[in-house]
Structure 1
Amino acid sequence: MSLVLYGHPFSSYTQKVLIALYENDTPFEFRCIGAETPQHTAEWLRRWPLRKFPLLVDGERTIVETSIIIEYLQLAYPGPVRLLPADPMAALDVRFLDRFFDLHVMNMMQHAVDGALTGVALKRQEGLAFAEEKLERAYAWLEGQLAGRTWATGADFTLADCAAAPSLFYADWTYRIADTFPELRAYRARLLARPSFARAVEEARPFRPLFPLGAPGRD
């Protein structure tokens, strides 16, 4: 049985895993979760009633949580692009930045999105204000962190970059990365040019009208 990934192309966390799969040309079947595919939704919920996606199925094994999925792929389906370094200390640095992008960028962007999804103007304003404050701090820290680096931890594309790409993509839609952060803006541009992420962005393009805060006419 081939690998099966349950998720949605417009989902930032689904994109994180798609990047890892595309980096190594790992064969898999994508099963989109949505109103048009109730059979996929039913199977996803049967396997993971906590209602979070993406979810990876490999035979009888079910793997959840994006960072764990990507680590599993490296163990079970290694390819030419090693997304976690062999050196334990270097791997720790990658895992830290992976957590940083998920917790301090992606989740903050999601806070603003959740506020907008309520349909309540005050909730939308509060969500945006909270997200903007947190993202400004994250952007400032990343600006110093990325100086002199091509990718998140250095010269090699890793798990941290898989997390960074959708995080910064949608965060910039939510709260624009200012010109005062040139390192961060350049890094986001490099991520967008990376073939694996460029493919994920194109696959998600038809769903842009769904972005609750309004998708900008760029990227």
Structure 2
Amino acid sequence: MSLSLFAHPLSSYCQKVLVALYELGTPFTFRQLGPDQTDAAAEFARLWPLQRMPALVDGDRTICESTVIIEYLDRNYPGAVRLVPEAEDEMLEARFLDRVFDNYIQTPQQKVVFDALRGDQPRDPVGVAQARALLEQSYAWLDDRLAGRQWAIGDRFSLADCAAAPALFYADWTHPIDPAFTRLYAYRERLKARPSFKRAIDEARPYRGLFPLGAPDRD
């Protein structure tokens, strides 16, 4: 049964799933969402009324939320890399850090981005300041957590790295990572060089102009 992914290349949560698909080597059809893709948008709205990207369709089954999609893929379409470790300690660490990257990197950085997208509408300077403070705290915590690790949970690439790659990529544009956080900074560089994420980065390049805080040339 062929898989279809409803997503947009620039979306961080869509990139999270794309990294997993590329790591696993799983064939799929990309159904791009956007103002010019009315057919895909209408089908997406029918399949998932909340319309939060991404969504994976496998036959008559629709799977939503990036973490759940990756766990579904890892279980039903396993590849050379297991993204959810079988060993309990590693599994819990991968799931824990997946939530850290989603909740304490993705969420605050998106707060800043969405505020910038308001344009002339009322802004939320207090909320933005709180989001930036949370990013700083998260950067410091992650820099310590990564001590002695190549990837998020150690020597193996996992679900947590799928979450980390786009989260840290965009967070550094939104609220730059202090180079003093040497382990975190180097980890972001390793993620950028990983072929699965490098592919996702390159596929999103044509859409960088949509990013409201600028489209950095350095990545």
TM bucket normalised to smaller: over 0.9
1:104-145, CA deviations, whole angstroms, 9 ceiling, x for partnerless residues? 001111000110111148626445423211100000000100
Query: Secondary structure of 1:123's partner?
Result: coil
Question: Counterpart of 2:114?
Answer: 114
Q: In the alignment, does 2:167 pair up with 1:167?
A: yes
What CA distance in whole angstroms lies between the structure 2 residues aligned with 1:118 and 1:190?
33
Aligned length: 219
Q: Give the match for residue 78 of structure 1.
A: 78
SS of the residue 1:6 aligns to: strand
Cross-structure match for 2:39: 39
Is the contact made by 1:113 and 1:127 (CA closer than 8 Å) also made in structure 2?
Answer: no
**Contact map agreement 1:114 1:127 (CA 8 A) in 2:** no
- What is aligned with 2:192? 192
- The separation in 2 between residues aligned to 1:105 and 1:54, in whole angstroms, is 18
Per the alignment, residue 93 of structure 1 pairs with 93
Which structure 1 residue ranges, 5 or more long, are not aligned? none
- Structure 2 equivalent of residue 211 of structure 1: 211
Separation in structure 2 between the aligned mates of residue 217 and residue 130 of structure 1, nearest angstrom: 27
Counterpart CA distance in 2 for 1:100 and 1:22 is: 23
Q: Is the 8 A contact 1:115 1:126 kept in 2?
A: no
TM-score (norm 1): 0.97
Q: Which runs of no fewer than 5 residues in structure 2 stay unpaired?
A: none
1:102 paired with 2:120, answer no
Task: Summarize deviations over 1:40-72 as a string: whole Å, max 9, x none.
Answer: 000001010111010000000100011000000
Distance in 2 of aligned mates of 1:87 and 1:108? 31
Name the CA distance, whole Å, in 1 between partners of 2:201 and 2:124: 25
CA distance in 2, matches of 1:184, 1:88: 25
Read off the aligned partner of 2:152 and give its amino acid letter. A
After TM superposition, the score normalised by the length of structure 2 is 0.97
> 2:136, 2:200 → 1: CA distance?
26
Cα displacement string for residues 153-190 of structure 1 (whole angstroms, at most 9, x for unaligned residues):
00000000000000000000001001110000000000
Q: CA contact under 8 A between 1:84 and 1:159: conserved in structure 2?
A: yes
2-structure distance, mates of 1:151, 1:122: 40
How many angstroms does 1:74 deviate by?
0.9
Equivalent residues of 1:118, 1:124 under 8 A apart: no
User: Any idea what SS the aligned residue of 2:56 has?
Assistant: strand
**1:9 equivalent in structure 2:** 9
